[in-house]
């Protein structure tokens, strides 16, 4: 599960950086790479990032507990 947590976190960072580019420069990197916002690959990437956000939001406490350091 920790591997999944890391993958989700990386995809959320990528999604956040993409939104930052959209907000600041009106440049959608995902759309630029995959052929536009309506291209099927872009829509798949947007969907995966959205699912990652739901995973993170719903399982926040469980993720925190998984990553806690053992007591010293």
Model pTM? 0.83
Q: How far is CA 28 from CA 45, 50, 53, 57, 68, in A?
A: 12, 16, 19, 24, 35
Asked if residues 60 and 52 have their Cβ atoms less than 8 Å apart, the reply is: no
Q: Rounded mean pLDDT of the chain? A: 93
pLDDT of residue 1: 87
Residue 61 has pLDDT above 60, yes or no: yes
Residue 33: the pLDDT is 96
From 25-29, 42-46, 52-56, 64-68, the region with the lowest mean pLDDT: 64-68
């Amino acid at each position: 599960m920790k591997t999944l947590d890391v993958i989700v976190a990386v995809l959320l960072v990528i999604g956040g950086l993409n939104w930052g580019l959209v907000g600041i420069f009106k440049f959608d990197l995902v759309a630029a790479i995959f052929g536009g916002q309506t291209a099927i690959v872009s829509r798949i990437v947007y969907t995966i990032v959205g699912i990652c956000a739901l995973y993170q939001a719903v399982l926040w406490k469980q993720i925190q507990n998984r990553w806690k350091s053992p007591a010293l």
